[in-house]
Amino acid sequence: MAVGLSDGLQALLPRLILYTIVGTCIAWFYHLMQPALEAALSNDYRSFTWVSEKRGVGSFLKSTWDVAFKSRELFAEIHRKILGTNDENIHLVPIPHCSTGFMLMVPKQLLNEYVRQPENDISLKRYTLQALVPDYTTLGAHIVIHPVYRSVVHKELYQKLADKMDMVNEEMTAALDEAVASKVGENGEAKINMWDTANRILSRSANRIISGYPLCHNQEYQDATAQYAATFFASALYARFIPPFLRPFLLPLMCRPLMRCIKTAAKHATPVIMERMAIIDTAQEKGIEAELPNDMLSAIIMAAKKDSNSAAEYDPMVIVARMMVLNFVQSYTNLVTMTNLVYDLISLPEGDFEDMVSDLRAEIKREMAKGDGFSHNFFQRLDLMDSLIRESMRYNPIGETGIERAVGKRGGFTFSNGIHVPQGALLAAPIKAYQRDEMTYPGGFNPRRSTQDPEHPKMTDISPNFLNFGLGRGACPGRFFTSNLLKLTLTHLLLDYDFERLETRPENVRKVTLDEPCGRFLITLKKREVQ
């Protein structure tokens, strides 16, 4: 009897394995096909304009293929269609790596309307949770959506930014000596990889006021945070292709490098955090204010101590995870922007390049003569440099889309013009199309545009025509620090080095909807003989 049962189980086992594999493949295929079926067959999406002009599953799948493998050509066509229509209709665009498989591109006239809606109706948090898969890319959802980020960043990198610039400048000087000056040869020239160099100098300088001493000088900690920032978004992107029922089995393996980075960073950061916690606890017992280093790590520890859920938040590993996410947010955007900025400057036409460099140096020297060089107020007065950076950002947004939100309102949301979007839909702005619109920004790339504009817009000013830092209450509170950090870097480079001009700008690298500057290109700097 037992032998017969054993034989029966052995005969059944291959079938069970086969059925499990086939069933999993079918479920996975359905997961990938679901966006096409929903967009093509659901009445909720029948009123929107398709970028492919033809509705249907086949048309959707073809557009999805083009987004993934021919994104440059497809989005050029999308730009033409969106900008060529005078109506206020919404365009449906397949985006294979987003959680729903497609996004609804909102006309510029309606952007302010949806970003001002209550969080429960049009939600940034809901979109963030879908996009970043935080249960696997970090230590849980509370790490990425906790309000501590906005409050701490606003206080430390806006209200108290002026008090921190001396520290950032000190670190920047040391970082440039190590990353650039050390590579200058006997001929006075240095060939550097701009992407890698910008990564090193920006990460170290920013961490001076984010992680503080001694972590900003700990190479293993720096490497762990940089590696986490470099792989975080890609891991989250690929995770969205995996069906929810398989994520508990596959994502821990796929995201293991991220967890390894958190563990490595924690090895060095935990003793520092516990030391500061001891200072806080001792000061609290004595009824006095704790004396802590002037950096964001101290601010996040203090915020965790005061949090209503401090039993969970006031934990070294939670604080380390928050610091890793914070580093990801600031380091990637600053790296892309700085690299694009240098490429745009050194590829200006002959004559324009020389004039721009000369005028930038004249502006720097004129403002330095006022006695507050490298201060917050000093950087606010660099109008020409601000114009150059703003134009580079305007012309080279990090991605094709931005201002993403998820519709959370029960029954959906209706715009003032009567267009209705269903609950669960993802709204976005085609920011590259809007920011390269010749009707708004005539004449192509113009580094002096803001100085010639009667309103003199700054790179930190936000509007439906300039969306790099977001719009509405979700606008980036760290944009003022980004402004100072980029100006600090470019000021040092202009004062200490001559750039070799390029005839042709290095072509950016497309990663579906992302548009990154080339990370392998070498530029030439020549040490200046400063009088």
Q: At what angle do helices 256-286 and 316-346 cross, to 10 degrees?
A: 120
Question: At which residue do the structure tokens 């919404």 appear?
Answer: 90
Q: How many angstroms separate the CA atoms of 375 and 367, rounded?
A: 11
ω into 252 cis (within 30 of 0): no
Instruction: Give yes or no for residue 531 having a pLDDT over 60.
Output: no
Contact of 526 with 500, CB cutoff 8 Å: yes
Q: How many angstroms separate the CA atoms of 449 and 441, rounded?
A: 9
More confident residue, 472 or 512: 472
Q: How many angstroms separate the CA atoms of 263 and 257, rounded?
A: 10
Instruction: Please tell me the least confidently modeled range out of 35-44, 47-56, 104-113.
Output: 47-56
The single-letter code of the amino acid at 85 is T
DSSP line for 352-413:
HHHHHHHHHHHHHHHHHTTT-TTSHHHHHT-HHHHHHHHHHHHHS-SBS-EEEEEE-STT-E
Query: Can you name the residues that pair with 68 across neighbouring β-strands?
Result: none
* 319-374 pLDDT, tens digit each: 999 999 988 888 889 999 999 999 999 999 999 999 999 999 999 999 999 999 99
Contact of 342 with 194, CB cutoff 8 Å: yes
Query: For residue 374, what are its two tokens?
Result: 């490298």
The phi, psi pair for 148, rounded to 5°, reads -60, -35
What pLDDT, on a 0 to 100 scale, did the predictor assign at position 510?
A: 82
Q: How many angstroms separate the CA atoms of 32 and 273, rounded?
A: 43
Q: How many angstroms separate the CA atoms of 302 and 290, rounded?
A: 9
Give the DSSP H or E segment for 316: helix 316-346
Q: Report the predicted TM-score, pTM, of the whole model to 2 decimal places.
A: 0.92
Contact of 265 with 273, CB cutoff 8 Å: no
For range 430-453, the mean pLDDT: 93
Please, what is the average pLDDT of the chain? 91
For range 449-475, the mean pLDDT: 93
Identify the DSSP state of 46: T
Give the DSSP H or E segment for 506: none
* 410-429 pLDDT, tens digit each: 999 999 989 999 999 999 99
3-state SS track over 62-94: HHHHHHHHCHHHHHHHHHHHHHHCCCCCCEEEE
Residues of the chain with pLDDT > 90, as a percent, come to: 65
What pLDDT, on a 0 to 100 scale, did the predictor assign at position 1?
A: 52
Q: Coil, strand or helix: which one is 429? A: strand
Q: How many angstroms separate the CA atoms of 168 and 492, rounded?
A: 12
Within 13 Å and on the Cβ side, how many CA atoms surround 288? 7
Within 13 Å and on the Cβ side, how many CA atoms surround 266? 16
The single-letter code of the amino acid at 98 is C
Please report, in angstroms and rounded to a whole number, the separation of the first and last CA atoms in the chain: 99
Question: At which residue do the structure tokens 């969970």 appear?
Answer: 312
What pLDDT, on a 0 to 100 scale, did the predictor assign at position 3?
A: 57
Alpha-carbon distances, residue 106 vs 48, 49, 83, 109 (angstroms)? 11, 11, 12, 8
What pLDDT, on a 0 to 100 scale, did the predictor assign at position 492?
A: 97
What pLDDT, on a 0 to 100 scale, did the predictor assign at position 61?
A: 83
Instruction: Give yes or no for residue 2 having a pLDDT over 70.
Output: no
Query: For residue 120, what are its two tokens?
Result: 């429960």
Query: For residue 511, what are its two tokens?
Result: 């990663």
Contact of 36 with 101, CB cutoff 8 Å: yes
The single-letter code of the amino acid at 121 is D
Query: For residue 279, what are its two tokens?
Result: 């200072």
* 121-154 pLDDT, tens digit each: 999 999 999 999 999 999 999 999 888 888 898 8
CA angle 412, 469, 455 (to 5 degrees): 110
Within 13 Å and on the Cβ side, how many CA atoms surround 120? 2
The single-letter code of the amino acid at 27 is A
pLDDT tier for residue 380 given thresholds of 50, 70 and 90 = very high
For range 39-65, the mean pLDDT: 84
Neighbour tally for 242: CB within 10 Å: 17
Burial label for 39, CB within 10 Å (0-12, 13-18, 19+), is: buried
Residues of the chain with pLDDT > 70, as a percent, come to: 97
Instruction: Give yes or no for residue 190 having a pLDDT over 60.
Output: yes
Q: How many angstroms separate the CA atoms of 416 and 113, rounded?
A: 8
Q: How many angstroms separate the CA atoms of 279 and 277, rounded?
A: 5
* 53-104 pLDDT, tens digit each: 778 888 888 888 887 777 777 777 777 777 776 667 888 988 888 888 899 9
Identify the DSSP state of 442: T
* 230-249 pLDDT, tens digit each: 888 888 888 888 999 999 99
The phi, psi pair for 516, rounded to 5°, reads -95, 150
Q: How many angstroms separate the CA atoms of 514 and 220, rounded?
A: 29
Contact of 256 with 356, CB cutoff 8 Å: no
Q: How many angstroms separate the CA atoms of 333 and 430, rounded?
A: 18
